[in-house]
């Protein structure tokens, strides 16, 4: 009896282990091998896999050609002439090229200040071939923001719609239309690569703020042209480009939201009024401090004081270094300019400055900025 029970127990255990082995083998089948014509054996990942079907319901991307076709006739080329002296002090005529776009059907053209600044002759050509030489009295400029408008008496103009630059996202598609290299109206596509960018545009520390950075090619002659979203709306005004060795794909445009108040004031009054101190500034650094024997290596050094200005009345002089303005520490000239632009006309401001090795504090009452010359 005991021998019978032992035999039964052995059979039960044997069948249990055999069942587990068979189950394991069933869950892990041997991969199917394919033998090629050369006799090579290949084990594919999944012989039963099928490729997914073509997705016919994917959203259609915006058509850049539609944007260009819709906007092309509202963009203009601007040709300028300027009398300058050559290296032998002989007067020669120098030509320039830029772009612009129609803001209002009554004949208001938007461009950059640097496109028409100091020009003796400004000629606008429209997409339909019409050419118009502007009257200097109908050009209104704002050098601080590099914006300008030109009033022309040309009928049947089609203005470009204006978008909302505050809704832009990095990666959005944009199109720049302009007159690159003076070769006529061209279009270049790109994306938004940066927002709220600040850029110093010259050695006098003038800076542009709230710029849109784009990968769309911005070449000489594009300045003043529109940067468009995929609805064909102007969301920026192309203005500057970093053009140094090893740097590409960094074009810049003034955001339309920051430009519109300036354009409004140029149209309403002919120039933009701002708080005015009456100084020209430069950032102090180690190099400037060493070469001019300055006692400070930071701050905003005054390079010019306009006679009769609030700065002159406050006793400020050339080579004074402003280190504090309205209670805020100043390390660079753009810092001071930004605070000044956000101040109020008629506001009294405290200024701390260094003259020689001594520190002084004075008060200036900000005036209204004069029209550009």
pLDDT digits over 118-167, tens only?
899 999 999 888 999 998 889 999 988 999 999 999 888 999 999 999 99
Tokens of 123: 């000629």
| Candidate list 207, 223, 255, 309, residue with the active-site label | 223
146 is catalytic: yes
Residue 14's pLDDT band (boundaries 50, 70, 90)? low
| All residues at 6 or more sequence positions from 342 whose CB lies less than 8 Å from its CB, including other chains | none
Active site residue 223: yes
pLDDT, residue 91, reads 82
Which one of the listed residues 71, 74, 99, 146 is annotated catalytic?
Answer: 146
| Domain 165-269 falls under CATH 2.40.10.10 | yes
Q: Does domain 64-151 have CATH number 3.40.640.10?
A: no
The C-alpha angle 369, 254, 158, rounded to 5 degrees, equals 100
- Report percent pLDDT > 70 for the chain: 82
Most confident of 177-186, 308-317, 333-342: 308-317
Say which of 71, 74, 114, 207 is annotated catalytic: 114
In CATH, what is the architecture of 275-368?
Roll (2.30)
Active site residue 114: yes
As a whole number, mean pLDDT of residues 227-248 equals: 80
Q: What is the mean pLDDT of residues 252-264?
A: 93
């Amino acid at each position: 009896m005991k021998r019978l029970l032992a035999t039964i127990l052995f059979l039960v255990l044997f069948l249990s282990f055999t069942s587990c082995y068979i189950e394991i083998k069933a869950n892990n089948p041997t991969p199917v091998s394919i033998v090629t014509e050369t006799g090579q054996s290949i084990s594919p990942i999944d012989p039963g896999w099928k490729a997914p079907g073509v997705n016919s319901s994917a959203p259609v991307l915006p058509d850049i050609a539609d944007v260009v076709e819709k906007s092309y006739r509202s963009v203009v080329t601007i040709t300028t002439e300027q009398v300058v002296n050559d290296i032998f002090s002989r007067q020669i005529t120098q030509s320039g090229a830029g772009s612009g776009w129609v803001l209002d059907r009554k004949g208001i053209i938007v461009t950059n200040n640097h496109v028409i600044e100091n020009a003796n002759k400004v000629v606008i050509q429209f997409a339909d071939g019409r050419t118009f030489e502007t009257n200097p009295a109908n050009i209104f400029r704002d050098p601080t923001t590099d914006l300008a408008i030109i009033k022309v008496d040309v009928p049947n103009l089609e203005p470009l719609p204006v978008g909302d630059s505050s809704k832009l996202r990095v990666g959005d598609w944009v199109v720049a239309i302009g007159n690159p290299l003076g070769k006529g109206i061209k279009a270049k596509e790109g994306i938004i690569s940066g927002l709220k960018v600040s850029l110093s545009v010259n050695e006098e520390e003038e800076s542009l703020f709230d710029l849109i950075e784009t990968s769309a090619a911005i070449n000489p002659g594009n300045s003043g042209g529109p940067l468009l979203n995929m609805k064909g709306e102007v969301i920026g005004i192309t203005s500057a480009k970093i053009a140094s060795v090893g740097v590409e794909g960094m074009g810049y445009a003034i955001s339309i939201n920051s430009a519109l108040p300036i354009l409004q004031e140029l149209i309403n009054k002919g120039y933009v009024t701002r708080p005015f101190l009456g100084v020209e500034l430069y950032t102090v650094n180690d190099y400037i401090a060493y070469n001019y024997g300055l006692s400070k290596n930071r701050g905003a050094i005054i390079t010019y004081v306009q006679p009769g200005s609030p700065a002159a009345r406050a006793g400020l002089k050339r080579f004074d270094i402003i280190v504090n303005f309205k209670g805020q520490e100043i390390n660079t000239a753009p810092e001071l300019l930004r605070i000044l632009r956000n101040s109020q006309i008629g506001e009294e401001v405290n200024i701390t400055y260094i003259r020689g090795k001594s520190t002084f504090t004075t008060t200036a009452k900000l005036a209204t900025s004069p029209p550009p010359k």
